[in-house]
Amino acid sequence: MIGLFNDCFPPVMDGVSVTTQNYAYWLHQRGEDVCVVTPSAKSYTDCTPYPVYRYASIPVPQRKPYRMGFPYIDLPFAKQIHGLPFVLLHAHCPFTSGSLAMHLAHAKHIPLVTTFHSKYRADFERVIPNKLIVELIIKRIVNFYEHADEVWIPQASVEDTLREYGYRGKVEVVDNGNDFAGTYSEAERVMFRKELGAADDTPVFLYVGQHIWEKNLEFLLHAVARLKDLPFQMFFIGTGYAASSLKELSEKLGLSGKVRFQGCITERDELRKYYLAADLFLFPSLYDNAPLVVREAAALHTPSVLIAGSTASAVVRDGVNGFLSENNQEAFAARITQVLQDRLLLGKVSVQASETLARSWEDIAGEVSDRYSSIIKRYRV
């Protein structure tokens, strides 16, 4: 059995949760014996074709809807998980679930694969004022990856972050997939725009992701506020500790009639409507490593506007499969205006974004399965 370990899983939705979900589903579809190990979710029942093993957890303070797990004190879970016939474990997080995966891998003498997904330093710097403590946590994270049998990253530029943290080992680039790949429909785009109340000539902007300051969302609202003379609509989808403050800022900037906060949308078909309806995906984050949302938008012919030099922008060529801006509000707003004034270029970039950034999870799962088999064989030699 292959075990996929992560600290969040549906109903908690973020990029790593979606990645874990699609790994499990498509590996199962390929006939692999696979399971997911993750914290419990209150009042939630798993309806998956593969088993999900959950351990006791509590809400993470100020990080709703995330949960902090306690697998070592959940005795029924511990007994069950130690009895499973694992042959390889894959940890998508270096914290509780990752620690559990490493413990099990050592106890069972099986390989441990890890993926480095996120820029963790920013998360800790926000809540821990002591720099020394933050550095100690980062060292523990690096130590976790250095003790894995193989470390994966979702795009080549993410290696820079790992090296910055102090990691010196090898890395393997394994792309993220996209469950919207190959599903674009012009007829549905027209239909969904009408459903959202957007006129044919009204630009529609979109942001999908955590509503946290680290995502540069204050920057985004101020940049969009510079477009007041433009008849646009913008949708924010997601939740996070800064959600209410973002709404207040939007009102203060006079954007109440143009910017709408839709909350967390967990149904993928419902989320797809917004990607299809949008003209541009606005994502000025300097925090993200390899955001799935940029690829999801691209799959549905919605190119992104990103900050040049950010890790998130490494897969984008300006004016080819997306758009880049300098890191200031005025330049970001000006880039949006420029793009909207050249509809021919926007149409061309929309198609090229889909062709270059949207690889199916089914395809990724085939590569991952082959990699797992190779690692297991090498480990047994």
- In whole angstroms, give the CA distance from residue 322 to residue 314: 11
Per-residue pLDDT band at 354 (split at 50, 70, 90): very high
Task: Annotate 79-100 with b (16+ C-beta within 10 A) or e (fewer).
Answer: eebeeeebbbbbbbbbbbbbbb
| Helix, strand, coil shares, percent, the chain, to 5 | 45, 15, 40
Do 232 and 288 belong together in one domain? yes
User: What is the reported pLDDT for 228?
Assistant: 82
DSSP H or E stretch at residue 349: helix 343-357
Do 127 and 40 belong together in one domain? yes
Question: Over pLDDT 70: what percentage of the chain?
Answer: 100
Give helix 329-341 / helix 217-225 axis angle, nearest 10°: 60
- Predicted confidence (pLDDT) at residue 331 exceeds the cutoff of 80: yes
The 10s digit of each residue's pLDDT in 8-17 is 999 998 999 9
- In whole angstroms, give the CA distance from residue 333 to residue 204: 14
User: What is the reported pLDDT for 126?
Assistant: 85
- In whole angstroms, give the CA distance from residue 240 to residue 361: 27
- Predicted confidence (pLDDT) at residue 284 exceeds the cutoff of 90: yes
Per-residue pLDDT band at 45 (split at 50, 70, 90): very high
Do 130 and 202 belong together in one domain? no
Do 152 and 216 belong together in one domain? no
User: What is the reported pLDDT for 233?
Assistant: 96
**With contact defined as beta carbons under 8 Å apart, do 286 and 313 qualify?**
no
More confident residue, 228 or 90: 90
Do 167 and 240 belong together in one domain? no
- Predicted confidence (pLDDT) at residue 160 exceeds the cutoff of 90: yes
Question: Over pLDDT 90: what percentage of the chain?
Answer: 93
Do 212 and 332 belong together in one domain? yes
Do 83 and 155 belong together in one domain? yes
Do 92 and 231 belong together in one domain? no
User: What is the reported pLDDT for 358?
Assistant: 94
Per-residue pLDDT band at 380 (split at 50, 70, 90): confident
| Average pLDDT of span 166-195 | 96
Per-residue pLDDT band at 62 (split at 50, 70, 90): confident
Region for 317 from its dihedrals, namely left if φ exceeds 0, alpha if ψ lies in -120 to 50, beta otherwise: beta
User: What is the reported pLDDT for 199?
Assistant: 84
| Average pLDDT of span 102-127 | 94
Residues 6 or more apart whose Cβ sits within 8 Å of residue 100: 5, 37, 55, 71, 72, 81
Supply 326's token pair.
Answer: 């300098």
- Predicted confidence (pLDDT) at residue 381 exceeds the cutoff of 80: no
| Average pLDDT of span 76-82 | 96
User: What is the reported pLDDT for 305?
Assistant: 98
The 10s digit of each residue's pLDDT in 202-261 is 999 999 999 999 999 999 999 999 998 899 999 999 999 999 999 999 999 999 989 999
Task: Work out how many domains the chain is built from and give that number.
Answer: 2
Do 323 and 304 belong together in one domain? yes
Per-residue pLDDT band at 123 (split at 50, 70, 90): confident
**With contact defined as beta carbons under 8 Å apart, do 38 and 6 qualify?**
yes
Do 214 and 290 belong together in one domain? yes
User: What is the reported pLDDT for 236?
Assistant: 98
AA identity, residue 156: A
Do 353 and 365 belong together in one domain? no
State which residues form the domain around 81: 2-177+360-380
Can you give the CATH number for the domain in which 71 is found? 3.40.50.2000
- Predicted confidence (pLDDT) at residue 181 exceeds the cutoff of 80: yes
For residue 154, whether the previous peptide bond is cis, meaning omega lies within 30 degrees of 0, is: no
Average pLDDT, the chain: 96
Do 133 and 49 belong together in one domain? yes
Per-residue pLDDT band at 269 (split at 50, 70, 90): very high
User: What is the reported pLDDT for 47?
Assistant: 96
- Predicted confidence (pLDDT) at residue 64 exceeds the cutoff of 90: no
Q: What backbone phi and psi angles, to 5 degrees, belong to 61?
A: -55, 130
Residues 6 or more apart whose Cβ sits within 8 Å of residue 284: 216, 219, 220, 223, 305, 306, 307, 310, 325, 327, 332
